[in-house]
Amino acid sequence: MRLLRAVIYGFGKMGRNIALNILEKGYSVIGYDIDRSIKESIDNEELFHSKSFMFIEEEEKILQEIKPDDLIFLLVPPGKVTDEVLTVLLERLPEGSTLIEGGNSNYKEAMEWAALFKQKGIHFLDMGTSGGINGARNGLCAMIGGDAAVYEKIEPFLKEICCNDGLIYAGVSGSGHYLKMIHNGIEYGMMQAIAEGFEMLEKSEFDFNYSEVAKNWNSGSVIRSWLMELLIDSFQDNNKLDNVSGKMHASGEVKWLMEESIKLQLPLPVTYLSLMMRNRSLEDETFSGKVVSALRYSFGGHKVSKG
């Protein structure tokens, strides 16, 4: 399928990098964000000066511009903002258009929205994403839920903007966000285990170069990973992470995961404790908190308080 163009509704860190990814594949892109100052911040990117890109600063104009053949990506924070935008799009999107909601929303809400959009003749897909800013720019890891026939029509395009084996059709509506919810629980546990290991090194009698340790552990060891790779750079900047606060805020997905596990009567002790450690980090500084904060900033650009 060769799309007419993609509409990126929400031009933050993820939105603008997905837009660059799509433009680089030869497609046209329209961008919009409620924050008009974003227009100034994208002027330095050459691809955004191409004839294939247009940034619209007013919501009414973007709504008038959208055509049924456009593929709309909604990339705004989950919760109230997503609900507000979806309420508008439900009334204003043309019949037959396809909307991909990629804000890591609650899977139950995605199921409800999918039913509402279906009544209006609008296709609604929920998309969980991973890989952070780098993935958005160079190849997404995407988990898609929704109508199989709708997905199949846009699958060739999605494969172009995803990394190899980085695209999965998860199933019916809600399954994409559900899969991402589980993914984030695993991510929490992995980051916490890595962070606790480095905190023990920090409290030991030895004087380790943590960047070199991370490099060693990422070279042939059973715990090698992209997370370990990111730490190499973080520790090179500052071995003690003195410039990073250890306060870590929790995302909604893992709280929902805890609720789901209780409903299923399924114990997830590692995930539970990693979430509790995030809550604990809001009180006192810990070195493990600094490590997780550095990791979150490295892969997702998540805001980090400076130490």
Token pair 């000066």 is at which residue? 49
Q: How many angstroms separate the CA atoms of 242 and 130, rounded? A: 28
CB 13 within 8 A of CB 26: no
DSSP-assigned letter for residue 265:
T
Token pair 């990117």 is at which residue? 45
CB 106 within 8 A of CB 256: yes
Q: How many angstroms separate the CA atoms of 27 and 52, rounded? A: 7
Catalytic-role residue among 109, 187, 202, 253: 187
For the record, the structure tokens of 78 come out as 């989950």
**Cα→Cα distances 49→10, 29, 46, 89, Å:** 18, 11, 5, 27
Q: Identify residue 26 by its one-letter amino acid code.
A: G
CB 218 within 8 A of CB 228: yes
Radius of gyration of the chain (CA): 20
For the record, the structure tokens of 186 come out as 């695993």
Catalytic-role residue among 109, 180, 247, 253: 180
Residue 180 bears catalytic tag: yes
Q: How many angstroms separate the CA atoms of 289 and 281, rounded? A: 6
For the record, the structure tokens of 216 come out as 């060693």
Count of residues in the chain: 307
Residue 60 bears catalytic tag: no
**Cα→Cα distances 92→66, 117, 167, 287, Å:** 9, 11, 29, 49
CB 1 within 8 A of CB 67: no
Q: Identify residue 93 by its one-letter amino acid code.
A: L
Mind telling me the catalytic residues?
A: 180, 187
